[in-house]
Each structure stands twice: as C-alpha cells, then as structure tokens.
Amino acid sequence: MTQRKHHQSFQHSKRHTQSPIEVNIGDRFPLTIKKLGVEGQGIGYFKHKVCFVPGAIPNDVIVAEVTKVHKKYLEATIHRLKKPSADRVIPKDDYAMEAGGFEFENLAYPAQLRYKRQMVIDSLAKFKPLGYRHYEVRPTSASEYQYEYRNKAQFQIRNQNGKVVAGLYKSGTHEVVDMETCAVQMPGIMKIMRALVDQIEQLNIPLFDETNHSGILKTIVIRESMATHEFQVTFVTNSPKLLKKHQLITFIQSKFPEVVSIMQNINPGDTPLIWGNETLKLAGKDHITESLMGLDFLLSARSFLQLNPYQTETLYEEAAKAMELGPDDTLVDAYAGIGTIGLSLASRVKQVVGMETIPEAVADANQNAQLNDITNARYEVGSAEELLPKWRAEGLHFDALVVDPPRTGLDAKLIEQILEEKPAKFAYVSCNMASLARNLARLVPTYHVDYIQPVDMMPQTPRCEAVVKLSLQN
C-alpha cells in the first residue's frame, strides 16, 4: 500500500472510530428547521441527530439551545431567530407558544393546511397499510373561520402567587397560563370567563390545590351555541360542596342573562380527566340547543360536539359523500355520541341504528331524534361486539357504516365485527392520523381506500380530522 493510500485509510478508520459528538444541556448551535413533527414542533438535524424545537417552523434558521438530551434525539428552544421562514406570522395571542391549542398561531394558514395533509401521509408511511403509497390524499379542506371559532372553553382555575388565574396548562407542566384573551375562542365565552375569574377572586372561593388535593373549584367549562347564542357554565369541583354557590349564581344571572344553564360536575381528587361522573343542575335548564344540518340538538354539560361549528357541517357532508347513501340503506352510527352524525343523515336512508357506551349520550341521542321528529333512528347503550350480532339476529342488514372514534381509534373488537359484517358503504371519520393509519392496516386487506379527505376543524393547532372513503375489495 502506498503511503498516501495508507494515510487515507487511517483517516477513514479514525473518522469511523471517533465517539459521537457530545451534546449537553445549554449548548447552542445554528439549526435549519426542515419539517414539523406530529405535535407541531419544528424538526432540524444537528450532527445527524433529530432536534425538536417547539415554536419553530419549516425554513426558519435559528440558534437552538438544548433543553433535554435523549439517546436518539434532542429537545431545544429558540435562543435566537436568525432568519425567519416566509411562512412565519405574528401570533395574535402572547402565550401562543406557551400553552397547547395555539401551536400554529405563528404559521401562515396555507402552510397549516399543507402540514395537515402531510401529517396524513406521514402516518400512512409509518404504519404502512397495504398499498398506502397509492392512496389519494386530497388537499385539506380549509375552515371558513381561523379565529373565534371554538364553541367551548375548559379552563383550569388556580391560585398562583396570590392571584386567581384561569387558562390552559403551560406545555409539559401543571402551571396554568392565565388567558385574559384567547383569539380562537368565541368572544362571548371569554367575556363570561374573565368576569367569573374576577368574581371568584372577590368571593374568595377556595380553589383546588394540586400539591395537597385541597380546595374546591378546579375547572370552569363554558359552551356557546352558535345557533341560539345560549351559554352553559359548568363548575367542576373537587367536592359536592361549592362555597358561595348562591352568590355566584346570582352574579351570573344578573350580569349574563344569556347563560341559561348553570351546572356543577363533581370530580374528586387529582386526576388528568376534566369530568367526574356526577353532574348537578344549579340553575336554569339542563341543556342548551345547537343547530346542525337543519336539526336541533340538546347539549348537556358532558355532551361531545365538534369544537368548530362553522366546519362541522363540512365534516358531516364529507362523511355522507363518502358513503353515497341511498333511501333503502340501513346506516350504523358507531361511536354515536348524542347522535349528531346519524340524525343528520337520517332523511337520506331507510333507518339509522346507533351505538354508544355512555348511557347519558344515548339518552340525549334518542331525545334529539324525538326533538326533530325523526322516527327512523334509534340509539342503544352497548359496544359493537354486543349490539351488532344482536341487531343481525333481529334481521337487520347493514348497508352503510360511519365511525367517528376517539383519539385511540377503533376498538379491536369493532374492527373484527366490521370485517365480519362487511358493510358495503363505509366512512371513517378520524381525529388522530396515527390511530387511523394503524386501523387501516387491519381494514385494508378487506377494504379499498378510495380517498382520504383531511378537514381542518381546529385552525392554529396541529390537530386534524380526516374522512376516509372505504369500499369492499372486489
């Protein structure tokens, strides 16, 4: 071997035996952001190591400061923004980068829509359902309103540094970010919320303390109906006792006559869940009324309804379009909630049968059917493995199926029932692209994915909904 070749070989081997570059907390380095992660955080690469930077967006050039070092990746903050991305905009809320629910307020809306479509594609690539590279993933359907669209606020209320604060948790902590304004909430909700915060401070109502699980008031939930502009206020408490309850009710009724329902939900102890099992009426009505697709829906305190009423009809119409419903069809409405999807489509089919495991939701769904004089829809309490065989034994033939599961996706036993029953028309409405892709990996050998339509229900956040049109393989 010549001396030159020997020297090159030595240098090559030296490079490959060197230990990886050590990175420590507090280190700073230039970083170009290449893409966005599933939580909306910026992703760049430093010495071949993935680096996650909340608040950074693609094509930002930053100086990153390391906050956590993991074996396979780094976490960092923006120490300095050297060159902003062309898609970077000024957030409307000062705390947009602190609390969840505003992660994209610094990202131009067209770029948000592109990201949400890409999130579907990336999830498919991770879970690899059969033929996923050839799925038609359509451009994201934009929301007409990008701000002031949220019809419900669930704000934690705490005493911090001697001051009553109400808002959402700071990312990764249990410190509440006090939200005096909130650009994505309907303005009437924030007006009532801030007045309640002041009144609670004046009345000196004991607030929940997470350190010793003492105190009473934990969370304030306010919902507004877009159709009627009625409001419902729910106080979530650590105990059945709510001190100064009557003063609070009198204040709300005198200052905000539009609040027609005042409720209390009891959720004892330190739990990540917002809601407890017991709900009491303090004043007014049990429900407020919302209108969708020409129908009225009664909403109790714990009823699930999409947070963006301006875009909800778009989502339901996409589900209807995916199923190509006909007047002789029997539609199964799984994960029915209060019946919003199934009842909205009842006039297009022979009958709707719905299932839900929460008894209160089923009662609401059947009440909503009566409220709208819908006689061809019924809802039952139970799971798919109980109800689908029962309905089949009753002689029902399932022509169409719509599912709108929680973020965890379809229950494994429901998937088994779907593959056994094989409804010809099938629409999957998903709020979690990862669980959607994972479920499609089970469904696709039997079903063909005709297309996936992302729908932006929550502008200024990384959250996305999608409607999948599935048809039986020939």
How far, in Å, CA of 434 to CA of 37, rounded? 12
Q: Are 126 and 437 in contact (CB under 8 A)?
A: yes
How far, in Å, CA of 285 to CA of 283, rounded? 7
Torsion on CA atoms 31, 37, 40, 41, rounded to nearest 10:
-30
Count other C-beta atoms under 10 Å from residue 204's C-beta. Answer: 11
How far, in Å, CA of 253 to CA of 359, rounded? 31
User: Is there a catalytic annotation at residue 431?
Assistant: yes
How far, in Å, CA of 402 to CA of 339, rounded? 12
Q: Are 66 and 25 in contact (CB under 8 A)?
A: yes
Q: 192, 197, 175: which is closest to 95 by C-alpha?
A: 175
Q: DSSP letters of 266-294?
A: E--SS-S-S--SEEEEEEE-S-EEEEETT
Q: Which residue reads 């990175």 in tokens?
A: 23
Q: Which residue reads 């009423």 in tokens?
A: 309
Q: Which of 51, 182, 431, 464 is catalytic?
A: 431
Q: Are 372 and 343 in contact (CB under 8 A)?
A: yes
Q: What share of the chain is helix, strand, coil (3-state, %, to 5)?
A: 30, 30, 40
Instruction: Give the active site residues.
Output: 431
